[in-house]
Amino acid sequence: MGKKLIPDEIREKISVIVEKFNQQELKTIDVRYIARFQGRFLYLDRIAYGKKEPVIRMEYFKEIDEWEFAIFKWSTEIYDPDECFFPGSELVDGTVEGAMRAGMKAYPV
């Protein structure tokens, strides 16, 4: 089985979603999410006050609102898809917006 890549049209939609979230949810603070794509994964890093940090990895499964979520764990420095007990976990709903909200609660700035 080969790599499942995220189609260009989904990447474009994700970029719009992330930018909209930054403009609406983070407009009053010096924080923003940036999306990067690698194979079937979307990484949502956050730039907070000039420092870039990993926060979320999402795995694509053909639907824009059904991603598998993994939070970055600083204790082990890995993305852990099995970690479900963290502040904000209730916001994880398969969407990119839910993931970014969960990331803000898990790692407040």
Decide if 2 is inside a domain: no
When pLDDT is cut at 50, 70 and 90, the band that residue 109 belongs to is confident
> Rounded to an integer, what distance in angstroms lies between the CA atom of residue 67 and that of residue 47?
22
Decide if 55 is inside a domain: yes
pLDDT of residue 3: 61
Decide if 1 is inside a domain: no
How many domains does the chain divide into? 1
Burial of 94 (C-beta count, 10 Å sphere; 0-12/13-18/19+): middle
Kindly report the pTM of this predicted structure: 0.92
Q: Which domain holds residue 27?
A: 8-106
Dihedral of CA 47/105/11/15: which sign? negative
Decide if 3 is inside a domain: no
Per-residue pLDDT tens for 66-92? 999 999 999 999 999 999 899 999 999
Beta bridge partners of 48: 31, 51
Burial of 50 (C-beta count, 10 Å sphere; 0-12/13-18/19+): exposed
Decide if 47 is inside a domain: yes
Decide if 45 is inside a domain: yes
